Amino acid sequence: MKLVFSDDFVRHATISDELGNVLYKVTTPCERIGTPRVSTVWKATPGRVIHADGLTPPLETEREQELINQGFKQLGEIEWHTFTPSKLRVFESVGGLDVLSEGMDSKEFIPAKGRLCRERAFKGPDGHSYRWELGCLKCTLYRDDGTSEPFPIAKYHRRRNFWLPFIKSQDGGYLEINTTSRGVADADVKRTDSISVAESHTVCDTASATTGKDVESLVLGERSELDGNMLDLLVFTFIYVEKLRKTREFWMHPKDPWTVWGMIHA
């Protein structure tokens, strides 16, 4: 599964599926000096097909009403702070989380962990712990399954010409989501004499199935799409961590003119 972003600066992006149907939209209006900027993540209402070509970004206060008329509803907000923890709010149960309208500090919602605080962790609706790893060029999501080599659940791929932000590209950045990772994550991997032997719980269940329908249901279960709540939470947290990663990228390359332009735009 791929979620295609109209812009690598994710606080101003339209997020579509591979067919061009808009699933989410992120808006971040400018604020006066001293007022924290707020990013709102919008979700397309189920049953209404919205095409990327038909979206024109409205201005300021008219934006919310126009997005609602276009079939969007507010999923959540991120209030950005520089010297204090940012505040995250959700307007419905996102991933099983019920966050009050006043919001929750980022250090509680998605706390930092790992060396140099390069990871952000949160709990999914399935009860498992997940963590975003903030790399130099991309963010990658893993599930903490106790293994030394966790399987990536999601990984962002920048657009091909991201060093030339003024040039529009047909190959936009996209978030690659592995929807069949559950069977891999459940596998118990053993190494004997340099030979890797994977004993998956799925294989054991399939071997014990007595009918063709039993086997078919197991296979379909492993190939099922992500739960809607998990997808919402994945997108919402990605917007937050990717902005953090881009800020870190700016401080690593402060003299890069494209990076400076990107920070102004972001």
Q: Nearest CA to 77 among 100, 96, 61, 57? A: 100
CB contact at 8 A, 54 and 43: no
Compute, in degrees rounded to 10, the torsion defined by CA atoms 249, 251, 254, 260.
Answer: 60
- Contacts of residue 54, defined as CB under 8 A and 6 or more positions apart, other chains included, come to none
Greater model confidence, 200 or 243: 243
Segment 4-9 mean pLDDT: 90
**What's the pLDDT score for residue 57?**
42
State CA 232 to chain mean position distance. 8
pLDDT digit string (tens) for 118-150? 899 999 888 889 999 999 889 999 998 777 788
Token duo for residue 203: 């294989």
3-state DSSP assignment of residue 134: strand
Q: What is the SS3 assignment for 19?
A: coil
178 Cα distance to chain centroid: 12
Cβ–Cβ contacts within 10 Å for residue 165, how many? Answer: 17
- Please determine, for residue 209, whether its predicted confidence score (pLDDT) is greater than 70: no
| Cβ contacts of 266 within 8 Å, gap of 6 or more | 9, 11, 12, 243, 246
Domains in the chain: boundaries: 2-179+225-265, 185-224
Specify the DSSP element, H or E, that contains 81.
Answer: none
Interval 51-110: pLDDT, tens = 555 444 444 457 677 777 778 899 999 999 989 999 999 886 665 565 555 789 999 999
